[in-house]
Amino acid sequence: MTRRFNYTGRQRITGDHFEARLISDTPLLAVLTLNLKDLRLEPDNTVIIEPYVGNVSLRLDCGTVSALAVPSPADLSELRTGGAIQFRVKITGKDGRLRAAGERIRLTGLDEDSGRRPLLPVEKDILGEEIWKVRVTQNEAPLLVLNSRIPSVEALLVTDPVFGGAIVCAAVRRVLEVLAEHPHDDVWQPDWLEFVRPWAPDVSFDESMDEQELNDWIDTVMQGFTAEQKFVTRALGLPGRSDR
């Protein structure tokens, strides 16, 4: 199994350091909060925040580490494209090299609790002819993206067990694959390990596991998760459907 290591010394900026909360839909305004106290940075390092949707982005110059000047609220109206707004945070030294960075930090909506972080947030974006995709890496928390062109697509995810089950099962399995590769990281992995523990309580990633054992662990977790969600049972209960 492939293992990835970061030899650059670049520090990671996460949602614990940066928060963007929507406070107005018209105009599109967000309060931005950045706290860098627990990072090892030079006072004169430059701070930049980039809200973006797909290939469209804005650049917000935010001063230096010792003299932060984060624009708040920030007007994001230029990014109203129908896609999900996310944020990059970049901190560079005088030589232009990155000292710390983070991206795909999501914008918290008007009706969301900023203290509540869902395991698999759902956002909409322009995906061409793809219905959905899941974005997750070792350093970026899982995000389920639905095609914004499909009417009521978020409601379908919840109300249609065939549509929702097909997407959610594949998305969760993908997250588990990344989790199995990087179980000891502390970005999003601890929350997911806690989530899956009821279905595989005896598995310890401190012990050496080969690829087949990891695949078996994923299958065990998926069996427990799907049994709890009852996607097939709910699908068979829909009008016009039966188990025949």
Residue spans per domain, the chain:
1-110, 118-244
> In the CATH scheme, what is the code of domain 1-110?
2.60.40
pTM above 0.75, yes or no: no
Element spanning 232, H or E = helix 231-236
pLDDT digits (tens, 9 = 90+) for 6-63: 434 678 888 889 999 888 888 889 999 999 988 999 999 999 999 988 778 999 999 9
Query: What is Dmax (Cα atoms) for the chain?
Result: 69
Query: What are the tens digits of pLDDT across the range 97-122?
Result: 999 998 878 888 765 554 556 788 88
* Dihedral class, residue 194 (left if φ above 0, else alpha if ψ from -120 to 50, else beta): alpha
- Rounded Cα–Cα distance for residues 144 and 170 (Å): 11
